[in-house]
Chain A
Amino acid sequence: MSSQKQQMKAYWRKNLQTLLILLLIWFLVSFGFGILLVDPLNKIQLGGFKLGFWFAQQGSIYSFVILIFVYVWKMNRLDKEFDVNED
């Protein structure tokens, strides 16, 4: 196997690792905090919100936005590191 092919394999593995971590957070803030754990979290108060309700109607959406921008930043760095960036 050529070294370039190995490089690409390493790039893809790192990409998958990043995806896995980000998707775990994605699952946790929406399905986790907003649905599965909503009842226990509702016992905690965040200002005028019950915490579980806040995650379901506000917090999950903010987290989604942050997740995408973290992904953009991480991938741009990864692309440069493996010299597969576009400019």
Chain B
Amino acid sequence: MEILTWTYILVGLTFALYIGIAIWTRAGSTKEFYVAGGGVSPLANGLATAADWMSAASFISMAGIISFAGYDGSVYLMGWTGGYVLLALLLAPYLRKFGKFTVPDFVGDRYYSTTAKIVAVVCALFISFTYVAGQMRGVGIVFSRYLEVPIEWGVVIGMCIVFFYAVLGGMKGITYTQVAQYCVLIFAYMVPAIFISMQLTGNPIPQLGLGGDLADGTPLLAKLDGVLSELGFAEYTSGRKGMTDVFMITLALMVGTAGLPHVIVRFFTVPRVKDARLSAGYALVFIAILYTTAPALAAFGIYNTINSTSEKNISALPEWVNTWQKTNLIHVDDKNGDGKVQYLADPVANELSIDRDIMVLASPEIAQLPNWVVGLVAAGAMAAALSTAAGLLLVISTSVSRDLFKTFKPDISEKKELRIARIAAAGAVILAGYFGVNPPGFVAQVVAFAFGLAAASFFPVIIMGIFSSRINKEGAIAGMLSGLVFTLGYIIFFKFISPELNTAENWWFGVSPEGIGSIGMILNFVVCITISKFTPAPPQEVQEMIQEIRIPRGAGKAIEH
């Protein structure tokens, strides 16, 4: 069968599955809508968290980024997994014991202040919106590449699917569709990786194949270092960024991960504190399967690409190079007219331009796998984009219905609150879809910074809310605002006002805008502690609440509403 037929069949089947699950798990109460009734098993929650977490960018682009960045790509690998240790040890169990539904709920109660709560809501909305627009765009791109429909139609189809199961099912529907989506996406990612690893190194486990030997007996990574330096590139296994910058970016990504509202909220859905701890462990196992395969796929991809194109006759290039030339993801330009491809670090002489996304998208063809595997990768990429989009939309709708609406109108009925949550989810889907079709220039750049902002705003006040009983509302509000304004200011200055100054000499302490969230976080901590020292301690009932969330027993009878 044709690739296109397979793609339609596999994408269609998975969509039918997601919709079926959504109907089966329809949410009936606000508690089911916000936190799936608090009855999700730790294993299911781990699977759902992994799907929620791994976005279109993790699935399609991350391996390709590492292909070209080599060692420097480690910032994403460590940054996007190490955050789960912080989440499991410092946040998830205590927030589960706290027992309400959202991060702004916690900030509002712990800092006994509506102002603090509103600041938290604004941060949550801002982070989630920049993130979700990128996901809708990802859905559109996958549709247009694999199903040969225009990007706009792709976004609209994606919107309809997400609309259906997020609005209808709430957190309950999302959780169980995410479980299915994880299975689809990990299967789609692993099949090509296993076959490529076997072809190159004879080892079916990609994580071991990365350290394995090629057919001629030289280790893959040593060979890659040699080939790349011959062509004028830096060695694959050595870094090009400054050490301080690598350190700060990794820290910002880790802490940002732990501060992302759509990830934190997943830990409100399990029944007990010990389940929240265990569930973070399961989530990281499922994430680690993809994140330890990605660097292998990255090295295999760049090696295969160079090996099958560099100094080869243009007329005799492998078929996948020609297929992907049509989509402009790979481009050959015979500048010196010798009929051969020269892939070189020098941009003037280089004749081959490669889009990073090709390392995953073309992986089935590079491995010469049957056509159904191509359809599978398409379905996997859709699963990754849709699951993340749905999780974010839920945070947005909860923020509006519960954190904004209910704060100002505490006496609305449960039925009405549920209706407002659904309307907010619908509104958010439409807005996200609009940005997916008409992406403002800044979306792609801003998504990476959502982490910096989460690191600089949420993380410090949540941590201190749990581990210090002295931090008060004045400190928390000042800390969040100063962290947020500082980080946002630095990013806006270097990315939008004076992008020409965005070089290592001009950065403060050698930290790039990608890593500045770490400094923002430190600033938040310092301001928060200092201001709290000179203002009155939190009232007695807050002190008691802090003692209460530190002890696991009693989470089962968490506050219903």
- Using a CB–CB cutoff of 8 Å, the interface residues on chain A facing chain B are 8, 11-12, 15, 19, 22-23, 26, 30-31, 34-36, 38, 42, 46-50, 53-54, 56-58, 60-62, 64-65, 67-69, 71-72, 75-76, 79, 84-87
Contacts and interface: CB of A to CB of B under 8 A. Distances in A.
Contacts of A72: 88, 274, 277-278, 281
Closest 5 CB pairs of A and B: A48-B219, A56-B74, A48-B211, A68-B281, A57-B295
Interface stretch (B122-130, B284-292, B523-531): B284-292
A35 to B, nearest CB: 5
B351 interface: no
A75 B211 contact: no
Given A8-B550, A53-B71, A75-B93, 10 more contacts: A26-B82, A47-B211, A49-B221, A53-B221, A57-B71, A64-B81, A65-B281, A68-B277, A71-B89, A71-B277
27 contacts: A11-B551, A22-B89, A23-B85, A30-B82, A35-B246, A47-B219, A48-B211, A48-B219, A48-B220, A50-B221, A56-B71, A56-B74, A57-B292, A58-B210, A60-B78, A62-B288, A64-B84, A64-B288, A65-B285, A68-B85, A68-B280, A71-B88, A71-B277, A72-B281, A76-B274, A85-B553, A86-B553
Contacts of B295: 57-58
B150 interface: no
A23 B210 CA distance: 28
- A19, A31, A54, A61 interface centre (most CB from chain B within 10 Å): A61
Contacts of A54: 211
B247 interface: yes
Main secondary structure of the interface of B (DSSP, over half): helix
B219 A64 contact: no
Contacts of B84: 64, 68
A61 B81 contact: yes
A68 B547 CA distance: 24
Contact of B250 (A12, A30, A48): A30
Contacts of A60: 77-78, 81-82
Nearest to A86: B272
A76 B273 CA distance: 10
A48 B78 contact: no
Contacts of A47: 211-212, 219
Given A64-B82, A65-B288, A75 B222 contact: no
Contacts of B553: 79, 84-86
B556 A86 contact: yes
